[in-house]
Structure 1
């Protein structure tokens, strides 16, 4: 057998045994760093609980917050990006538990909606490098930023036909439409978890506040009490 033939045969054997590189498996999902403030933590949980309430009859979505998102081997090794404060992914199995969002384990799916809860120390990144990642790598259709300590800080962008972010124009009330969720994002003033502030909340297409689970339970109790009074019954005695 000639040298050329042996080389070709060896090359064929190598090709038969070649396997693509495996993605990293030593991923971390908790860096031990808390959110900027207690208000930021509450604000994140309000958004998560609101979406779970709005989509209570669905199991084809996943919503998370302050979770790592891994999208490439390089990013996983460098750990130069962690993840958004709040995000929603649609058309996925929402019943499966996840420690974080690992794109290559999710059939290449990225978040459809992202909200960053800004602070003075994160605003530059949220409006700069992170916004670029969400636009150019994630291709996240709807992106918003809001500082829980600044009621007038809400801004949003939507990907246009050229896959570039264009600023969302607020309506007369200052609300921003979220096309992928079919909901409005706007502020609401009140007390949640014993903290009174202006919170970022979701509203339905008709302008009704998307209630948190405990708010929905209270509303049902109030309607029942009103009905009992109409019937001449004292709801406090039942």
Structure 2
């Protein structure tokens, strides 16, 4: 096999997992837009600039006409600016930290100075390192994660952090959401697992209660009392 760097198949899984948890928790509104590798456009000095972040969340966008597929998005012209933009670092340099102020512009410069995205997250899957930058006074300032590798994003009313575990047959670090009480927003398979566990526990409880009832009935019969007469 050649030793040339290739894109990681983990990137689309990371993006899908972030959306899945929000969707199952009922936190995605019909007016919101969550997309992966989706063109975000802006016109600067009469030139169209397009960047495709690995994950983007936009609170409110204008609805499209029936049958029309959204193929790109232009902030202000079509709705809100992105609230959160995430980039997942691959083996190939993608300019995630680039502050190039000239066309076609670095991603960092584009998100910070042109779109002015409030939250910029950069995740390094290889090292499980999550960098969070918040737009303060027109510049991105790095935010510190807590001891649990999570950070509170008030704009989302959620914690974002790194979770070690298995999904899609891959055991690695995943980006996960937690609510304000510290409860993990579950993936579909996890929710099904909890539901199965609940059903098993209920069935076991029913069996235990049935056994107790039978033992009590037998004791009553030993005392000459017909439990059916009670």
TM over 0.5: yes
Alignment of 1:1-238 (within 5 A): 36-56=7-27, 58-72=29-43, 74-76=46-48, 81-92=50-61, 98-103=70-75, 105-107=77-79, 109-122=80-93, 125-128=95-98, 129-151=106-128, 153-160=129-136, 162-232=137-207
Partner Cα separation in structure 2 for residue 100 and residue 191 of structure 1:
32
User: How many residue pairs align between the two structures?
Assistant: 192
Contact 2:8 2:90 in 1 (8 A): no
Q: Which ranges of 4 or more aligned residues in structure 1 deviate by more than 6 Å?
A: none
Greater per-residue helix proportion: 1
Partner Cα separation in structure 1 for residue 8 and residue 135 of structure 2:
30
In angstroms, what is the RMSD of aligned CA positions?
A: 2.4
Deviation readout 1:29-83 (Å, 9 max, x if unpaired) = xxxxxx821111211211122222233473232111111111227553xxx6431
Normalised TM-score (structure 2): 0.74
Q: Which has the larger radius of gyration?
A: 2
- For 2:149, what is the secondary structure of its paired residue? coil
Contact 2:12 2:36 in 1 (8 A): no
Contact 1:61 1:94 in 2 (8 A): no
Deviation readout 1:184-211 (Å, 9 max, x if unpaired) = 1111122211112111111111222111
Q: What's the CA shift for 1:136?
A: 0.9
Q: What's the CA shift for 1:120?
A: 3.7
Normalised TM-score (structure 1): 0.71
Contact 1:47 1:201 in 2 (8 A): yes
Partner Cα separation in structure 2 for residue 231 and residue 118 of structure 1:
51
- For 1:71, what is the secondary structure of its paired residue? strand
Partner Cα separation in structure 2 for residue 147 and residue 57 of structure 1:
26
Gap regions ≥5 residues in structure 2: 1-5, 99-105, 209-230
Greater per-residue strand proportion: 2
Contact 1:114 1:144 in 2 (8 A): yes
Contact 2:165 2:172 in 1 (8 A): yes
Q: What's the CA shift for 1:133?
A: 1.2
Contact 2:42 2:50 in 1 (8 A): no
